[in-house]
């Protein structure tokens, strides 16, 4: 009776350890886009690693996030439009497989983009 219980506990510990390691070493790239301008951004899109994310509109003060777990060497391509029709087209950052990335793209009041990268 005790031997099957010990075996079961050992199996559960192995599974728990595997799940903990999988979570700890899971790589992720995340980009938060924030609109600090006084204007709405429309048709906002992000392209990265041959993937396209259509984020729609980004109102003043709003943030949106893109998160990917399968990626290779790439940059963030951010596009959209301002209310007067001016096109947004930015290439920022650099992500590579094997690291976590926590990047931020902030559209300031003057419409300029401030980009920061935090590889982990």
Boundaries of every domain in the chain: 28-116
R_g of the chain computed on alpha carbons: 20
pTM comes to: 0.75
Band of the pLDDT at 118, cuts 50, 70, 90?
A: confident
Domain 28-116 belongs to what topology?
Answer: Immunoglobulin-like (2.60.40)
Lowest mean pLDDT among 3-7, 47-51, 90-94, 105-109: 3-7
In order, the DSSP letters of 11-73 are HHHHHHHHHHHHHHT---EEEEEEE-SSS-EEEEEEEETTEEEEEEEE-TT-EEEEEESS--S
What is the predicted pLDDT for the residue at 32?
A: 97
What is the predicted pLDDT for the residue at 3?
A: 74
Greater confidence, 43 or 21? 43
């Amino acid at each position: 009776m005790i031997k099957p219980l010990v075996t079961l506990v050992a199996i559960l510990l192995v599974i728990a350890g595997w799940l903990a390691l999988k979570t700890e070493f899971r790589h992720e790239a995340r980009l938060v886009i924030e609109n600090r301008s006084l204007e709405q951004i429309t048709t906002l899109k992000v392209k990265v690693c041959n993937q396209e994310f259509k984020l729609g509109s980004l109102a003043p003060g709003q943030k949106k996030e893109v998160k990917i777990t399968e990626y290779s060497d790439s940059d963030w391509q951010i596009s959209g439009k301002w209310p007067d029709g001016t096109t947004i087209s930015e290439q920022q950052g650099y992500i590579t497989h094997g690291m976590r990335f926590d990047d931020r793209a902030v559209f300031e009041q003057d419409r300029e983009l401030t980009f920061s990268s935090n590889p982990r």
